[in-house]
Structure 1
Amino acid sequence: MRKPRDYDSELKALEDKARELKTRKVQQLGELVIATGADSLSTEELAGALVAIAENKEAGRREAWAKRGAAFFQGRARRSASTPDRNAGGAPTQPGGAQPASGSTGAA
């Protein structure tokens, strides 16, 4: 006879994993805001800009933003590769952080 499944513990494990993923996403978005210098904006300015971007449906404009973002990450990767101790004063970066792999696109 098979051992019965413990649905409660499986559900708890899935909830814990979902909470961990959400926490990681929030942290990465915060790191992205800081890396781009957008942390110097007021909360209202940043929220307004993000709302405008999210509402924009123009494919050409969104593609231009994606290219600019990719260039930002590629330039940042080159700078950080040439200065490995650049992050000495800040929080350590995590693998799979806010920087997507070269050539990848998409939202978090």
Structure 2
Amino acid sequence: MRKPRDIDAELTALAAKAKQLKSQKIKQLGELVIATGADELDPEVLAGALLTAKASKDVKSREAWKSEGEAFFRKGAGRKLASAAAGDGAGAGQEPGTGATG
């Protein structure tokens, strides 16, 4: 006879994993804002730009933005972002309180 599965324990583990992944995503988005230099913008300006990009139905604009983003990651900024995520000190020169949380 097979041992019954502990569904409650599995659900708890999945919820913990989902929480960890959400936290990691938020951290990576903040690192992206910093890596692009967008942390120098006022939070209202950054939010407005993101909302405009999200609401845009203009395919040409979206393709242009996508191309710029791909070029950004190709030229090495993506590696800097990845190393910052690894905690090797990249981006450590940032002053406290200048993050993207505004």
TM-score by length of 2: 0.74
Task: Determine which structure has greater relative contact order: mean sequence separation of CA pairs < 8 Å that are 6+ residues apart, divided by chain length.
Answer: 2
Secondary structure of residue in 2 paired with 1:90: coil
1:41–1:63 CA distance, 2 compared to 1 (3 A): same
Q: What are the residue-to-residue correspondences of 1:5-24 with 2, within 5 Å?
A: 5-24=5-24
Q: What are the residue-to-residue correspondences of 1:6-85 with 2, within 5 Å?
A: 6-76=6-76
In structure 1, C-alpha distance between the alignment counterparts of 2:29 and 2:70, rounded to whole Å: 16
Aligned length: 86
Deviation at 1:2, TM superposition (A): 1.6
In structure 1, C-alpha distance between the alignment counterparts of 2:39 and 2:21, rounded to whole Å: 23
1:8–1:29 CA distance, 2 compared to 1 (3 A): same
Name stretches of at least 5 consecutive residues in structure 2 with no aligned partner.
Answer: 81-86, 93-102
TM-score by length of 1: 0.71
In structure 2, C-alpha distance between the alignment counterparts of 1:63 and 1:14, rounded to whole Å: 36
Deviation at 1:91, TM superposition (A): 5.8
Moved over 4 A (4+): 77-80
Name stretches of at least 5 consecutive residues in structure 1 with no aligned partner.
Answer: 81-86, 93-108
Give the number of the structure whose residues are more often helix, by fraction.
Answer: 2
In structure 2, C-alpha distance between the alignment counterparts of 1:73 and 1:35, rounded to whole Å: 10
Indicate the percent of aligned positions where both proteins have the same amino acid.
Answer: 55
In structure 2, C-alpha distance between the alignment counterparts of 1:42 and 1:30, rounded to whole Å: 14
Deviation at 1:74, TM superposition (A): 1.0
